[in-house]
Amino acid sequence: MADPVLTARRAISVPADALVLLVGAAGSGKSTFARRHFPDEASVSSDRFRGLLTGNEADQRVSQAAFELLHQAIGSRLEAGLLTVVDATNLDLLSRATPLDRARRSRRPALAIVFALPAEVCLRRNRTRPRVVRPAVVRRQSASLRHIRTDLEGEGYAAIHIFGSESDIQSAVVLLTPASELSEPARPPA
């Protein structure tokens, strides 16, 4: 018999050795989702590496160095067979390419969880954050999600999950599954 709690919620199966790319605009809830559903040590973040380098997670001057460290951490975790959740906007192919390549080389599955919330929701949430992103940037990021499913489908993910509302996010349940249950690693782009 199915668990009634899970049937009322959206279950997302995540292999314990997977790469999980969180994709979405600033203020869409990626970091909150990562904190709620994944072990803290599994989450790697460009903001966190900026903070480690300068003491300020919003310091864009060190973005290149922060992303180099992020990619190194992604590769090391995947090589070790560890769950790796990438908490960054990941809005374009270039930002997703290196993590996906690391997953392929490590023969690990890649999943995308997309936070495609309306710009108004992201803007409202953004105003309550400690580090406010300029509204024009949030609008541009939100607009870039219009064709995200089509973009992601050709990149080789084992699964793509798209949240279109706050209730979608709140009803999600992440189920960590053994690494051996996945049938194939990330595939090269079509």
Kindly give the confidence (pLDDT) of every residue in the chain, 190 residues in length, as a single tens digit, with 9 standing for 90 and above: 444 333 346 899 999 999 999 999 999 999 999 999 999 999 999 889 998 998 888 788 888 999 999 999 999 999 999 999 999 999 999 999 999 999 999 999 999 999 999 999 999 998 888 777 889 999 999 999 988 988 999 999 999 999 999 999 999 999 999 985 544 555 555 5
Report how far Cα 62 is from the mean position of its chain's Cα atoms. Answer: 21
Predicted confidence at residue 58, as pLDDT, reads 77
Token digits of residue 101: 């390549």
- Give me the phi and psi of 181, to 5 degrees please: -80, -15
CB of 58 closer than 8 Å to CB of 131: yes
4-180: CATH topology? Rossmann fold (3.40.50)
Predicted confidence at residue 8, as pLDDT, reads 47
Token digits of residue 76: 């090391």
Nearest to 127, CA basis, from 115, 116, 135, 117: 135
Predicted confidence at residue 13, as pLDDT, reads 95
